[in-house]
Amino acid sequence: MDTPVALVSTTHTICERCKQNPANHKLRTEKVCAQCFSVYITTKAIKRMETYRHRGPKTQASKKLLLPLSFGPCSTSLLYILNDHLQGQYDRMNRATYELIVVHINIFTTPKDREISFKRLQEFQSRFPRHCFRMINLEESLQVEDIDWNTIDTFLLPETRGQISPDVKLSQLIGSIVSPTSRAEMVSILFFRLLVSFGRKNNCESVLFGDSITKLAEKTLTVIARGNGSSLQWQVSDGLSPLGISCKYPLRDLNKKEIVAFSLLATPPLDGLIIRDDTTPMSSCEKPSTINDLMSQYFESVESNYPSIVANVVRTCGKLRTMTSQNSTPCGLCGLPFDNEMGTLSCDSGISSSHQPIQLPKHVSSFCRGCFKLVSNTQ
C-alpha cells in the first residue's frame, strides 16, 4: 500500500503558511496544516489547466477533454480536483470551459477482474454524476485501423487458424512475447493507441493524464532503457502528439506520496474508491520483474528524501527536442514517426551516434527500432 506523506507532530507546531492551524503535514521542506496542503495540491493542478480558459464569446462550445481513469490515487485525485474546479465555474458563471469524458480501459482478462472494474466504475459515476463515464476493453485496440496488424500477426501469431474471439487473440498475442518487459511495453502501446483512437472519435481536444512527477521520471528512464529514447518527448511532455491529439499532465509538479496524502484529505475521502494493484494484468510474470517495476520501486523510494532527483529527471527530459526528417513515417505499431530512409531504423533524437541502423526486410520496414525488437521477441 502506498505510504502517504508523513504526518508531523502537532505539539507546539503551527502551519508555516497560514500561521494559524496546527501543522500536521510535511510539504517538501515546510510543515503545513491539512487545509494549506490541499490548497497547494489543487493549485498546482489547476495552474496546468489555464490552457483551457475561455478566450472567446460566451456562446463558445466547451472543449471536450479525455481523462483516463485507472482507479489509482493519481487519476482519482485528478478527477476529484477537476470536478471541483468545474463546479466552481458553474457556481460563478453558470457554464464551464471544458467537459470531461472519463474512460477506463480494462487491461484485465478474467471475468472476475472485469466485474470488479465495472462495479468500481459505477461507484465513480455515482460520486461524480456530472461527467460521462465509459469502460472499454483492451482487445478493442485490435480494431485500431492504422496499426499494421497483418505484419504483427505474422510475427506473433504465425500458426493461428480460424476465428477466435478478440480477447483470446490479444491474450495469445501478448503471451507469445518472451520478455515480461516487452509484454508490459506491448500493453502500454496498445493502451495508448486505443485511448487516442477513442479520444479522436469522440472529438476530444486533449488527453489529461494523472501521472505524477514520480511516474513521469519512472517512464522516462523506462523508455530510455527500452531503446525508444527518440519518442521520449512525446511520452512525458505536454503538447501535441504526432497521433493528432494533445497530451497534458496536470499533476506533473507533484510527487506520488503527496497525491496519496491528498486523496485521504478529500471530503469524503477518496480512499474508498481507489483500487490498489492487487490484480494480475496481461503483462504479468511471476518470476522476473519488468523494467517498469524496477524504475517504479527506485523512484518511489527516493521521492521523499531526494525529490530533486525525481524532478531533475523530468525537467531534463523536457529540454529535449526530437529531430524531424523528411523521410519520417509513422510506425506501424506505436504510431510515432521514425526515419524510414532506405528501409532502415535509426534513433531520431541524435542523442547517441554509436548505434548503427538496423537493416530490415521490406515487409517489416513500417516499424520503428523499438517496435521491431518488440514484435520479433517471440517464444
Q: What is the mean pLDDT of residues 181-186?
A: 90
Residue 120: pLDDT band with limits 50, 70, 90: very high
Could you give the CA distance from residue 101 to residue 201 in angstroms, rounded to a whole number?
A: 12
Query: What is the pTM for the complete model shown?
Result: 0.86
Contact 128, 83 (CB under 8 A): yes
Could you give the CA distance from residue 198 to residue 193 in angstroms, rounded to a whole number?
A: 9
Question: Where in the chain are the domains?
Answer: 59-317
Within 13 Å, how many C-alpha atoms sit on residue 97's CB side?
14
Residue 378: pLDDT band with limits 50, 70, 90: low
pLDDT in the model for residue 56: 60
CA distances (Å), origin 126, targets 131, 132, 267: 10, 11, 15
Look at the domain 59-317 and name its fold.
Answer: Rossmann fold (3.40.50)
Q: How far apart are the first and last CA of the chain?
A: 34
